[in-house]
Structure formats: C-alpha cells, structure tokens
Structure 1
C-alpha cells in the first residue's frame, strides 16, 4: 500500500499542469576556466549565448519571486519543468531553467567533465540571476537558485561571497541570490577558506549516493557553518543519485570524483591535493589529470519515488519561507 501511495504521489507531481506556458529566452554568459576567471574578470574573454526556459505564474500585477534552476551533467530535460518548476509555479514563484550546454555545442558532460568548466555553470547561474532581475514581472530581491548534481554545485558556489563580490564590482547593481538549494551536489571540490553569503542554504542529499557522496557534503556544511553560513541539510535514507529524475535507477558509466580532494584557493584557482595539478593550466587539461589522479567511472543514478516526494515538499517549504511568495 505504501509503495502504491508513493507511486500515485510521484505521478501527481510528474504530470502537474503548468500555470503558464514556458517561454524560451536567450541571455549572454561566458566560459571561465576556473573561479579565478570570475574573480579577476578574465571570464569576459569567452562570451556565449545560452537559453533559459521561463515559466511565469499569474501575478496580479505585482512583481513575484523567482528561482533559477541549473541542470546537471545530463543537460536540460522536461522532467525539470514537470517535477521542480511546476510545484514552485503553483505557489506563485516564477522559474527559469538554464540550458548551459546547447549554446556551447555540448549535449552532456557526464562522461567527460572536461567538456565544460564547472565554473561556467556557476557563472551561468549568476548571469541568469541578472537577466531575471531585469524582468518587469520579477522581484530582483527575491530570486533563489537550485540545481541538480553539477547544477547543485552552481547552487552551492553562487553562495560564495568572493564570486558574488567580484561580479558586483564589475557590474554595479548586480543582484544577489536570496536563497540556495542544491540537490545532490558534488562536494569533492571545496573552497579552502569559504566566505559564505548571508542567504539561507539547504543541501538535499542521498544517503545511498555513490556518485556525489553525501558524507563529503555533510562535512563541508559543517565547515560552511563555522564560517558563518546559514546552512542546513536534509538526508534521504532511500535515495541514491538523481532521485528527482524521471528515469528508473540504473548503473551508468559516468565519471566520478568522490575520492578526490580538490581545493579552491583564495584567488579562485583549483588544485588537486593528490597530484598537485592546478586549473591554471586550463580546465580540460586539469580535468584529465584529476581523472587520472583520483577519478573513477560508474555510479547508480535514477528516480526514487519516496525521496522525490519528500524533497519536493522540502523544496517548496524552503522557497516559501525564504522568498515569501
């Protein structure tokens, strides 16, 4: 009976009707090789045009809050609209799902993370924030961010004050995110000396995740809290990786970095503690060396009905509290 109820709940979530049609918008971003490129401003040397899928619920003429949604290594998929955007739309929150890959000529990075720098996905989140803040129907002071796996890293690292401060210095009026909610982010890369923003942060993690292990994120959350972050975590006992997706759990030949210890220095360069490799030599070369040093292949990914229902409720409650729709 419990399984049947969960299946019915999952069906209700996944088949939800949108409040408004989805509009595809174009916006500019860049492709920094690492976080140093964002901090020192050299990211502007690599412009790219991306797309975002915007869904606006009825607003009664008032500016409404919004959430930026950043996909994982598999790229944009319809389930993100059905299971993540739709519940937020129903409580009066607009959503923008970022497509980080199509504009860069890439379909996915799951089997080769060297194709697109991780810092590029983080910057895409900031660029989407700036675009939404200019939208006449959006309240620029009430914009949150979420994302899955790689996109979870974007939701996590947009809460790093160094990056937000650097972008604000070069763009007067640059808004700040009001809330951050990463789904199963990869935490094997961490800031050596994190400087978290004041906005609330909630990490949603899977206890059975063998792709981006929860234990590493739980430890990082402690470090963030000691640095002054308003951070909380949720751990779902039955969940592996990608439990929000719409495909059955399966074994996949993805690159994994759960055994790595990658540290971001104060200037934004990334170093591999095991091999000594540095991102200053370029992302593609760095990613290849890290893969040789501490990477692996193979993880279980896919939907978990129980975790998906619980996480959707936690997501809605978090953004209802922090963005006040």
Structure 2
C-alpha cells in the first residue's frame, strides 16, 4: 500500500479535530470497518429529482441552445432523524460508464447514511434516456460535462434540505464519474456551474474523491477551488495511467488543491463491482485531451475539438484504435481498505469545514 505524507497529515488533522466535533458526530466511525450492507435494508433511499442541464462540453455551459434544461434524477439516503438544522454532511455519488450499480453506489449510499452522512446517488444516464440506452450510445451522447451539471445542481438541491450543511458536501465518482469529479475541482468549471443560494452564496464542494478515474484530460487553466482531492488507484488498472495521474495531481496542486494519491498494488479496475476478474470494453488509456481556457475540449493527437457526438465518436475511435480490452475485478480486501481510506478522508474534510 502506498502512503503519502499527506495521508499521515490527514490522520493528525482528524485526531485534532475529532474532539471538537464529537458532540455532533462520531467521525471516527468513518475510519472503522464499514457496516455490512446486508444489515441496511431499512435504509432504502428516496427517489428525488431537481433542475439541471445538458451541456455537451464545458464551452456549452450557460448556452440555452447548447445546454438544454434537464430534470436530474437521483436517490437520496438520509441518516435516521430527527436532525438539527444544517447538522448533516453529505456525499454526492457519480456513477461509472456502466451506470448506477447495486454493488457500488447503492451499497455505499446506505452505508454512509448509517454512519450519519447523507448520500445523493446521481443517475445521469437515467435522466437522459432520450440520448441513449445502450452502452456505446450513452458514452458518446451523455458526457462528463453533463455529469458535472448534475453534480453542481445536485449541490444546490441538497442546500434546499434544511438538515444538510451545503458547506460539507464531498463529490465522489467512480471511473467515468471520477473523471467528472476531478474536473469539478477546477475553478473554470466551478465558476460556471456552482449553484446560487437564496442569500447569494455560491458553494463549492468541500472535497473530491475519485475512485479509479482515468486521467485523460488536462486543463490549460489549473486554478482550482482549493478543495482537497483523494485519488484511489489500482496498481494493475490498465485504464488509469499512473504517470498521467501524477501529472494531473501536480496540475491540481499548482492550482492550490491538496492532492492525496493511494495506490492499491494488486487492484485492477472496479474493485468494488460485482464481477469476478474478466476483460471488458476497449482501453482508453491512449486517449489524451486538453481543456482550453474557453472550455473547448481538444484531442491532443489530432487537434480536433470535441464539439458534438460525431466528433466525439471519431476522436474516441482513433485514440482506442488497436487497443484491447482491460481487466476489471471485484476484490473485497481492496474494497475494505479503500473504504477505510475514503472514510478517513471524509472525516478530515467534514471536521475541517464544520460550522462553528
């Protein structure tokens, strides 16, 4: 297991902050073995919806013609009440390219609620069935930028809940959703998409956590919101290039965000899924994009701008030409350790951003 100095510092910060917050929430529970999902049937979650939009790329954000209004869909899991106003922190979960999974988002969410953290599971694919229902259709037509719109509008939705503290919301994504989670950290994105609350405040996420996220895009403007990022990677994950992820992490640090990277040496992609080890899909590790200052996504190999589904199909087809499948595989040992590492990160973020 690879530990950074930031990991040790986070543990120290949590140890200092926990006594201050003990009266509100026992944050140490997040750093203990997570509850057995089979025992959480009494936390089913509630279907919810809220107003969002569907920009294809960052340069489409705010343009009604290119970012049509969309009703976002999700499922909200709340800790058992009653709750004091603004007393509950929250997590927003963004799914991977396979959509919302029972073994992943719908397992983490009730676990978090049991530990006194609200969880909003966003279903970006379910909200846009008119754009595609098959795997390839969805990946070509439902983009990371649309997931970003759902994430930030979801933050605004959570702020309307009287029990949830919008200053303590962590964005968490898996694979495809992890890419959006990392992009959401850039000021260029947050400045355009952050919701406006009744008092005029425009909250950002208190933290970002990316589970096995491919590091395909780098931003020309590396400024961030300043929130911390946790990157959890598999040492044998062929779709996440660790060298590229290190470059992205350095970009974000230059942009003023602390970044912690933990690598699980034997893990492949989607260690928290339901499937035994197998090969799937086409490896995207050879793809490389740049997000320009105006929000244009440009393929670094061809120079083409990803300006719509047709261009996206061409670019993805070229950068995966000749690429084979990549391995995925459930690993309960890695999942248990990743949950502890993620829980430690959540505890440190929630304690650091707690209301006085």
Q: Give the TM-score taking structure 2 as reference length.
A: 0.81
Q: Structure 1 residue aligned with 2:203, among 175, 181, 200?
A: 175
* Native 8 Å contact 1:19 1:89 kept in 2: no
Written as runs of structure 1 = structure 2, the 5 A alignment for 1:1-325 is 13-17=36-40, 20-38=43-61, 40-42=62-64, 45-62=67-84, 63-81=87-105, 83-105=107-129, 106-107=132-133, 109=135, 113-168=139-194, 172-252=200-280, 254-280=281-307, 282=308, 284-295=309-320, 296-324=323-351
Higher strand share: 1
Identify the range of structure 1 (190-199 vs 143-152) with the bigger mean alpha-carbon deviation: 190-199
Moved more, 123-132 or 104-113: 104-113
CA distance in 1, matches of 2:138, 2:120: 26
Match in the other structure for 1:3: none
Contact 1:30-1:44 within 8 A present in 2 as well: no
- Whether the aligned pair in 2 keeps the contact of 1:72 and 1:150 (CA below 8 Å) is yes
* Runs of 5+ unmatched residues, structure 2: 1-31
Q: What's the offset of the Cα at 1:34?
A: 0.5
* Alignment partners' CA distance in 1, 2:138 and 2:311: 12
Partner Cα separation in structure 1 for residue 116 and residue 301 of structure 2: 47
Q: How far apart are the structure 2 equivalents of 1:131 and 1:169? A: 9
More off after superposition, 45-54 vs 235-244: 45-54
Cα 1:313–1:109 shift into 2, 3 Å: same
Shift of 1:19: 6.1
CA distance in 1, matches of 2:335, 2:218: 26
Number of equivalent positions: 313
Q: Is 1:64–1:92's contact at 8 Å kept on the other side of the alignment?
A: yes
CA contact under 8 A between 2:75 and 2:120: conserved in structure 1?
yes
C-alpha distance after superposition, 1:184-235 (max 9, x if no partner): 1121112123111111111111111112333321221122212322111111
Please list the CA deviations of residues 4-38 of structure 1 after superposition, one character each: whole Å capped at 9, or x if unmatched. Answer: xxxxx999644341563310101222111101122
C-alpha deviation, 1:276, in angstroms: 1.2
Distance in 1 between residues matched to 2:100 and 2:143, nearest whole Å: 17
Cα distance between partner residues in 2 of 1:129 and 1:141: 10
- The answer (yes or no) to whether the contact 1:113–1:255 under 8 Å persists in 2 is no
| RMSD of aligned residue pairs (Cα, Å) | 2.4
Task: Work out whether residues 167 and 174 of structure 1, in 8 Å CA contact, stay in contact via their aligned partners in 2.
Answer: no
CA distance in 2, matches of 1:183, 1:83: 15
